[in-house]
Amino acid sequence: MSGECRLYLVTGNKHKLEEAGAILEPYGIKLEQAPVTEKLEIQSESLVDIALYAARDAYRRIRLPLIVDDSGLFIEALKGFPGPYSSYVYKKIGYTGILKLMEGVENRRACFKTVAVLIHPPIEKVFIGETCGVISDTPRGMGGFGFDPIFIPDGHTMTYAEMPFEEKNKVSHRYKAFSQLGEWVRKSRIKCL
Ligand code: ITT
């Protein structure tokens, strides 16, 4: 790879774009919002399948080197719920709904996962990041987005939403997936726009 590399993120979520963009910057990658923001979301238990399907569909439509980020919160006591349904569940019941489901539940273990799929034909690569921790008893913090106010990553006392942007971006599931992606692009010989 030489010079700057421009890649497109297919998302309607500006927080994802900000976080992933900041993670990829040190790798010489400029992340831009793709000209399509709607992802085709199939129903599946697998984030990898959901992300791959959405990425292939988006590529057919825009024909630009792109990334799809599909993420989810997997709560052990709820058998992995909301997992692949996180987006829908967040819109319907939000984190307060999740806290209600967790009332009186002692096991508060949970993991956030990000699957980032890069499509740059003929290349198709999948990068996975996971950060585990616990669900807090009450929502805390104003930063971040989604379920951030109720997730405390292992080794920390703050929720993601209490952490400064840079700190969440050093420990998060998204950081783990996108830093692998950045590393891979840096080492590869893909041609960039
Ligand atoms: P796009 O599909 O347009 O990219 P989305 O927000 O719908 O945006 P997902 O399908 O990946 O994204 O849904 C995952 C949901 O999980 C999302 O709506 C958030 O509520 C939540 N989520 C994902 N990443 C998160 C993070 O870093 N912190 C907190 N919540 C997150």
Confidence of residue 6 (pLDDT cuts 50, 70, 90): very high
- Nearest ligand 1 atom, CA 168: 27
Positive or negative, the CA dihedral 55, 56, 62, 66 is positive
What's the CA-to-centroid distance between 85 and ligand 1, angstroms? 10
Instruction: Give the tens place of pLDDT for each residue, 82-106.
Output: 999 999 999 999 999 999 999 999 9
pLDDT of residue 193: 74
| Active-site residue, 154 included | no
Instruction: Give the tens place of pLDDT for each residue, 24-80.
Output: 999 999 999 999 999 999 999 999 999 999 999 999 999 999 999 999 999 999 999
Cβ(138)–Cβ(96) under 8 Å?
no
> Rounded to an integer, what distance in angstroms lies between the CA atom of residue 184 and that of residue 123?
12
Residue 3 has pLDDT above 90, yes or no: no
| Coarse DSSP helix, strand, coil percentages of the chain, rounded to the nearest 5 percent | 40, 25, 35
What's the CA-to-centroid distance between 2 and ligand 1, angstroms? 32
Q: 85 in ligand 1 pocket by Cβ < 6 Å? A: no
- Nearest ligand 1 atom, CA 73: 16
Pick the catalytic residue: 70, 137, 148, 154? Answer: 70
Residue nearest to atom 1 of ligand 1 (CA): 11
What are the chain's domains? 5-188 (3.90.950.10)
Residue nearest to atom 14 of ligand 1 (CA): 87
Residue nearest to atom 22 of ligand 1 (CA): 146
Instruction: Give the tens place of pLDDT for each residue, 121-164.
Output: 999 999 999 999 999 999 999 999 999 999 999 999 999 999 99
